[in-house]
Chains A and B, each alone.
Chain A
């Protein structure tokens, strides 16, 4: 009586779903997160606005000054109004968005590279290397970010020339900002990566790789690193938000991207002299910054949940 006959499929009370990869599971969980999906859609819209909008409005138009219509309120011809020297604000938000977003993503690339490099070396080798690298990391973290950003922006100042890329001129200050943002934001990621390496380097799969003579760099980048991809992705996503806000702050203070290249931040720079008379100067670029950062934060939160549903939020 130990053998039961074949169980009819339709009556099988217990079945198992096919196993999913980490990515698939994460995507399913992400999809359920309403705020995150909303954020992703919003972000997509903003990206499209900035980059596809370039087909509707040329950059020359965005930089075209016309002092006779300076500071005019939103109208059908200039839906967002004009700025202090008569440039169309709508067009400038499109091109400004391009720069702000490009800076955001590029800065994160710098941040990831630095953070992974330092974190993995520190975590894997330990000892003196770890001590020195972490000391440096701690030192930089101890300096309030806004100070560091401003001093570094001034430091690199006018040292980098303008570059020509895909038929457009990018102010050298864009490179500066990307560098400055990246170099001031890698520290938390380095710590996270280091922590991951510290815990993973004692795992059996690492011993196995070492025992079979795998070169160290391969162990680090091909074996251990892929296992810590989740916190890196989350940190990178949230890093874009930080970079966008950071760029806005230093451009607002006049040390960021220099006109005529527009960014959402430097569009607000002169605005506070005209708070009363021309609120459209700052409302539109400011709203764009807010929406961008908001959508990124939603997405980042959703990602964090998706990769680790045991984590605390929601």
Chain B
């Protein structure tokens, strides 16, 4: 049964009221060529009972492997209190609270979230969140195009290793608006941004530089130098950050002489489960000077007529319900429920707790990299400072080895051979605070056995 509240008579009445004979007429302006008559590849409807059984069996087939893959989505411990509180009736809504008179609790929570994000990233203002890290970067790029009024080119430089999925999403979202993404290149010895060709950008019209820290390969970039260089050629700086890492690393607002102008990133590590890839949430913060170019909802604190503190959405004049097609964004929303969990997570952990998580991640990844490096045919690729991911190289193709590990219940990492063929048979591993010494030993032993067997064969 479809959940459509109006019956045929309601529909008829509405059509009569607007003088249209057939509901299809409302879609006349969509050309035939663009219409899809049938959905391909979508199976027939199933009964709810059968769907439940199918989904249960599929969920069971996932098993509960030991996960050493990061690459943008990270397994962290989520204290039970977080979702217990987030799913209380008072909080349990994914929607934006437009009605201040009925939503003070949710609005205050978002305000607290914004304050925490501003403080983690060292920037003045935060929005109420976006869909995910990838769309947050696309919005940050569009924001830079509006905010950097001296630049007309829409050319966005990409430092060494930015999440390749993010770049695909940026291309898809902004490509038709004339933005061009140009990689600066990667130094294969260090896994850091290659700065040798940067002289050629002097005097060019560059809108912004995107710097991911830690970069996609887990390495720590010289963000001060990159930031100062970008500002020296009139480009804005967009930081892509992991919020957990900011408990220890220098916040984007302090990068270089003037700080990054915009920071964005994936908020999932803050109390949101991996859950097959979503829902996640995107964070976006910026210097105050650019707040009017910032897309999405922003909650402000104010006083009511009787002088009492209250919270309300603010700076809405450039949002789509007012400015329509000229809005700062027409595709964004906030991820209310994920932000609720993240805010509770940060409140519960506190600054010290976040720092402990970040330190444990670094220690575990370091331990893992060292241990795997001792396996025959396996070596750590980069020896510079890193956060909680490391690149390893095998003496043979990666994919069959990862498959063999999966059969032993270990998700051994992300195969980098597609996105970074120049690194050879490389893969990216991550060990968060959730991994014990025994887990790391299990992984290393399994990998050693697989490498030995493959050699015999």
A binds B: no
Report B's interface with A, CB cutoff 8 A: none
